[in-house]
Amino acid sequence: MTSRIGVFGGTFDPIHHAHLRMARAFAAELDLDQVRLIPAGQPYHRGRGPLASPGQRLDMVQLAIAGDAALSVDDREVRRAKPAYTVDTLRELRRELGEAAELWFLIGGDSLAALDSWKDWRELFRLANLAVAMRPGFDPSDLPAEVFREWRTRQVSDFSNRTASGTIRPLALPPLDLSATALRARLAAGDAVDGLIAPAVLAYIRQHGLYR
């Protein structure tokens, strides 16, 4: 049987409840064999980069998904000395999985709106299918014209005809208003974060003095 692999890349600074529920919905809605979370390595630009180190963000992803058989963590971008572009990671995965495998890449609606700023963004559709998790306020008509064209033409309603790459699928999962930015602000202010982050990740944050 053709393997169905999902990939979810992010800064995960830190990984939070919205990430976990979208990763799980991704696996369930698309009937994937496996979802790999890939924390980003070093950022391209200094200044606006992550606050936790790549190794710490990787540790937190590992803690958050422990015991969830559908999810795994892939450390290839963290291990790389140089920053990784998504298209390069997908090229590498496609080489490893072969041409027949169904490869899915998951992004949030806000990332979709910026897709045309990604390196070789059109090649993403040659390499993988795209799943999109809605974010509050997402409106397809706000997408840049060229991304909107892909959004309109690549959606397939009939899922009996699955392909290795090239389609777009919005997840049915209702949007949730939570970002790592908002979470870091709550942590810095000493506000409660119950339910917004995995307890083991919160313990790690406290232990390492992150986001104070």
- Which residues contact ligand ATP by CB under 6 A? 10-13, 18-19, 22, 107-108, 110-111, 133, 135, 176, 178-181
The residue (of 161 and 181) whose beta carbon lies closer to ligand ATP is: 181
| Position 38, amino acid | I
| Position 148, amino acid | F
CB 33, min distance to ligand ATP, A: 21
Q: CA-CA distance, 155 to 159, in Å (whole number)?
A: 10
Q: Which token pair is 72?
A: 């795994």
Q: CA-CA distance, 196 to 175, in Å (whole number)?
A: 14
Q: Is the peptide bond before 54 cis (omega within 30 degrees of 0)?
A: no
Number of H helices, E strands in the chain: 9, 6
Burial of 168 (0-12, 13-18, 19+ CB in 10 A): middle
The residue (of 18 and 164) whose beta carbon lies closer to ligand ATP is: 18
Residue number closest to ligand ATP, CB atom: 108
Q: CA-CA distance, 84 to 144, in Å (whole number)?
A: 24
Q: CA-CA distance, 11 to 39, in Å (whole number)?
A: 6
The residue (of 26 and 102) whose beta carbon lies closer to ligand ATP is: 26
CB 110, min distance to ligand ATP, A: 5
CB 167, min distance to ligand ATP, A: 18
The residue (of 5 and 105) whose beta carbon lies closer to ligand ATP is: 105
CB 106, min distance to ligand ATP, A: 7
The residue (of 1 and 5) whose beta carbon lies closer to ligand ATP is: 5
CB 109, min distance to ligand ATP, A: 6
